[in-house]
Amino acid sequence: MTRSTTLKSAEDIAGAGLLDPARLEEIEKVTQQYVLAITPDVAKLIDPADPEDPIARQFVPSARELETTLEERADPIGDHAHTPVRGLVHRYPDRVLLKAVHVCPVYCRFCFRREMVGPQGDGMMTAEELEAALVYIRSRGEIWEVILTGGDPLVLSPRRLREIMHGLATIPHVKIVRFHTRVPVVDPRAVNDDLIDALTASGKTTYVALHANHPRELTEAARSACARMIDRGIAMVSQTVLLKGVNDDPALLADLMRAFVETRVKPYYLHHPDLAPGTSHFRLDIAEGQRILAALRGRLSGLCQPTYVLDIPGGHGKAPIGKCAIRAEDGAYRVTDFSGGEHVYPPNP
């Protein structure tokens, strides 16, 4: 096996030099439980000589995935509790998630939906299920935004994406369609004119939220894929997961956020890792995350600042969890500047 095709088994990654053959058996146990895929573009980014390589850590399985802690759960962000029709999650009043597909081009070892994604998952929504989801969206005038997530919606064929966009185009109160994807980074050549066309529809504004966690992921090819979409009128934002051993370092995160902005991708969310099974080796303490975020405040242009968020386990939605810079005390406000100095701001008389 070479690194020119997608690697899908422990044997494949050993054959491509990304796994010590002595560990084959233990990693096969992991892949029996959690699906594996590494695209050629991602494989090329991995330095096999570095045992701590941050790209490998995201995609090459580890025996630690078989260790599940008490607080971890199969559905960490509570999708099931908010699923009125199959494939649709309605957690917040003005937006829904549409999970049209359950496969991804790569499988992140820290994935929050690792129990749902992969070929063993629920597969693609059928035409009837999509119609039922559209009926639900049409019947609720408060739904302003539809977020295609998954699985990775950009693995769908342009024909299928067009069907979805045409369906949404008939619903006047839906103004925004957002796609959550890793494709521009992990398979940039797939972002061709046909695919980009399929992401847009008359009367709708399209956003693409790009998931990337390390500055090395923003290769020239990935940046060009983003530019092709943005040049065609698609707005882009970023999503990053704060991961131990991958990006838990202010200087590295600063490089990543700057790379997003240079690519015209506005930094949006920095996620605290979810309580997905077998992912404790990726989680850091929230206090450590807050310290990293505070260090970014002084270091980086406001354009580059993401919002540090936690998905509250059980389906209660996202909460911003960065340290608040202001507090009320003794009838006034005390506000902290980026280097830690405290200042008084008066209340309104």
Say whether residue 147 binds ligand SF4 (CB under 6 A).
Answer: no
Query: Which x/- pattern, by CB under 6 A, does the window 188-217 give for ligand SF4?
Result: -----------------------x------
Let me know: does 115 contact 74? Beta carbons within 8 Å: yes
Is 92 noted as a catalytic residue in this protein? yes
Active site residue 95: yes
Q: Which amino acid is at 113?
A: R
Catalytic: 324?
no
CB of 282 to ligand SF4, least distance (A): 11
CB-based contacts of 22: which residues, under 8 Å, 6+ apart?
none
The answer to the question of residue 155 lying near ligand SF4 (CB under 6 A) is no
Contact pick of 104, 199, 225, 226 for ligand SF4 (by CB under 6 A):
104
CB of 188 to ligand SF4, least distance (A): 15
Q: Which of residues 113-132 bind ligand SF4 (CB under 6 A)?
A: 113, 117
Structure tokens of 258?
């700057």
Which of 8, 23, 73, 92 is flagged as catalytic? Answer: 92
* Residues sharing a CB contact under 8 Å with residue 119, sequence separation 6 or more, in sequence order: 35, 103
311 catalytic per annotation: yes
Question: Is 111 part of the annotated catalytic residue set?
Answer: yes
Our CA angle for 2, 190, 36, nearest 5°, is: 45
| C-alpha pair distances (Å), 95 with each of 144, 145, 147, 158, 198 | 6, 5, 7, 24, 21
Q: Applying CB under 6 A, which of residues 76, 150, 184, 322 lies at the interface with ligand SF4?
A: 150
Please report whether residue 222 would count as binding ligand SF4 according to CB under 6 A.
no
Q: CB-based contacts of 339: which residues, under 8 Å, 6+ apart?
A: 298
- As a residue count, the chain comes to 349
CB closer to ligand SF4 out of 240 and 263: 240
Q: What is the DSSP letter of 62?
A: -
**Coil, helix or strand at residue 268:** strand
Tell me 61's DSSP state: -
Exactly one of 3, 99, 162, 182 binds ligand SF4 (CB under 6 A); that residue is: 182
Cβ contact 77:269 at 8 Å: no
Instruction: Name the segment binding ligand SF4 (CB under 6 A); options: 106-114, 195-203, 251-259, 282-290.
Output: 106-114
- Catalytic residue set: 91-92, 95, 104, 108, 111, 113, 274, 311, 318
Binding positions for ligand SF4, rule: CB under 6 A: 104, 107-108, 111, 113, 117, 150-152, 182, 211
